Amino acid sequence: MGVIDAVAKKAKEVKEGVSSAVEEYSHLGNELQSKAAQAKPSSPAPEPRATAPKTDSGKRYGDKPGEKRIDVTEALKPLGKLHTGTPYVPKTGPYVLEKGERVVPKEQNKMDASAAMEAITGRKPKPPKKIKEIRTKKTDDGKYVHTHMHHHPEHHADEMHVSNDLKAAQAHLADQEPNMAAQPPEMPSAGDGAMPTPGM
């Protein structure tokens, strides 16, 4: 038998083996399809429960004992109507404006008394000078150095004071109590004028 005959014989055997395997497994597709048809269909997912809209119970805070409602009617009333225009708003609060009206920031309002005073004096208004904190340190020579740290440091820089002994230091701290404030003082409004508060 030559080489060609041997190759042809081997090819024939392989072809017969492939055909046999195809024939053997060809029925698997039908079996799987049949089993899938017999399987019970899965139950559909439950539909989301519709939530009932909330209804107004009619109960209000203040109806129960111990509850107290604050009447804000007066606080919400507008302080005035500006439909005819105004060069200056005298008080902070709610005002009635109409569509098309314009509000100018106070920094751009030349009718602001603070701005006018600043233009005259060349100095910006200062808030009251109040001490936020006093830090005291004892030096090696027995003296006490007090650093006054003020509210609004952009207007009132820190100051240093020296007491010669403990008794003088205690007296200094007691003397400064009226000049201290827990909360920063407000900037002066237009009605307060723009002159700086004298130093302590």
Q: Which of 108, 125, 142 corresponds to the end of one domain?
A: 125
Q: Which of 93, 109, 125 corresponds to the end of one domain?
A: 125
pLDDT tens by residue, the chain, 200 residues: 565 666 567 667 766 665 665 566 666 666 767 776 666 556 677 777 777 777 877 787 778 888 887 877 777 777 777 777 777 777 777 888 888 877 777 777 766 566 666 666 666 677 889 999 999 999 999 999 999 999 988 888 999 999 999 999 999 999 999 999 999 888 775 444 444 444 44
180 and 150 in a common domain: yes
Q: Which of 93, 125, 157 corresponds to the end of one domain?
A: 125
**CA 26 – CA 95 distance, rounded (Å):** 87
- 0.75 exceeded by pTM: no
143 and 91 in a common domain: no
Q: What is the pLDDT of residue 163?
A: 95
**CA 163 – CA 172 distance, rounded (Å):** 7
Length reported for the chain: 200
Q: What is the pLDDT of residue 194?
A: 41
Closest CA to 185 of 128, 133, 113: 128
Residue 38 domain-assigned (yes or no): no
Residue 89 domain-assigned (yes or no): yes
141 and 117 in a common domain: no
Q: What is the pLDDT of residue 73?
A: 78
Q: What is the pLDDT of residue 179?
A: 93
137 and 96 in a common domain: no
**CA 155 – CA 197 distance, rounded (Å):** 10
Q: What is the pLDDT of residue 118?
A: 65
**Total domains in the fold of the chain:** 2
Domain span at residue 87 reads 60-125
